Amino acid sequence: MLDLKDLKGVIPPIVTPVDDNENVDIQGLERVIDHVLDGGVHGVFVLGSNGEFYALDFENQRKAVEATVRHVDKRVPVYAGASAITTKECIKLAKMAEDAGADALTVLTPMFIRPTEKEMYEHFKAIAGSTDLPVLLYNNPDKTTNNISVSLLEKLAKIENIVGIKNTSFDFAQTIEYMRVTKGMESFKVLSGSDYFVYGTLAYGGAGCVAGTANVAPRLVVDIYDKFMAGDHAGAVEAQYKLVPLRNTYSYGSFPVVMKDCMNLMGIPVGNPVRPIQHCSPEKMEELRKVLASLDLIK
């Protein structure tokens, strides 16, 4: 189980390689894990949005969590996504992840439906109450259309095993407000979910980031964190600027294919995206090559 002092640093939401039948490719998943661990990351998040959790049935999600826990082998904490539309399904996923040996859960706001703040509070409270694992909330209003407001976050942060939030939002003011209203709570941490705001979140007192680009360039994202923690703010900012062109490539294809395409280009085979998503166009692939080459990730 996650020790709160270990909720920090760079936590990549790892891509999920799939085979030709769109089932989890265990060997491919292990390659991804090895790549990010070699890059010095501080945790591994399986079944995030970059991991195409929404495209995997329960058995494939279980398979992915079990394989990740087994291969990470306690080197860093494993965060398992337990996200679905209904409270019942999230609780089922939470229990599966706990049984599989995950160290913590990451739970996204519901998708498609539009619950009230009271309904969202009861949703997260019920999930947290169903498990002994720490819960990291996951706010991604652009994808789900549901937003964890600052007032709702204040209430959720008081639930004992809700220990933090990943804010994947371009509303950086909201991230700052999350940190302001939880500033006195040692048991609650805020992480950036936008790769543009890693340094900014750290500067305001955040604990780290859940960064999709850390699938591709883990060492560069870790460099932002390590330099910041060492007091080298100029170096941390420089690393942040260096990361921006890679984050800008998200627009080159339909989310979340781009990180998979980058890894394939780098010689880390992760297969296809789950349909209906398709690979980037040949023209965009060439642009991806240029970005990767500029970061010395390919020759």
- Bridge partners of residue 226, in order along the sequence: none
Query: Residues 8, 63, 79, 166: which is the catalytic one?
Result: 166
What is the β-pairing status of strands 44-46 and 162-167? unpaired
Q: Where are the beta strands (DSSP E) in the chain?
A: 9-10, 44-46, 78-81, 104-108, 135-139, 162-167, 189-192, 208-209
Whether the CB-CB separation of 15 and 263 falls below 8 Å is answered with yes
Angstrom CA distances, 43 to 76, 82, 119, 123, stand at: 5, 17, 30, 26
Is position 241 annotated as part of the catalytic site? no
Peptide bond into 141 cis (omega under 30): no
Is position 63 annotated as part of the catalytic site? no
Query: Residues 8, 79, 138, 178: which is the catalytic one?
Result: 138
- Give the 3-state secondary structure of residue 291: helix
> Could you tell me how many residues make up the chain?
299
The residues assigned a catalytic role are: 138, 166
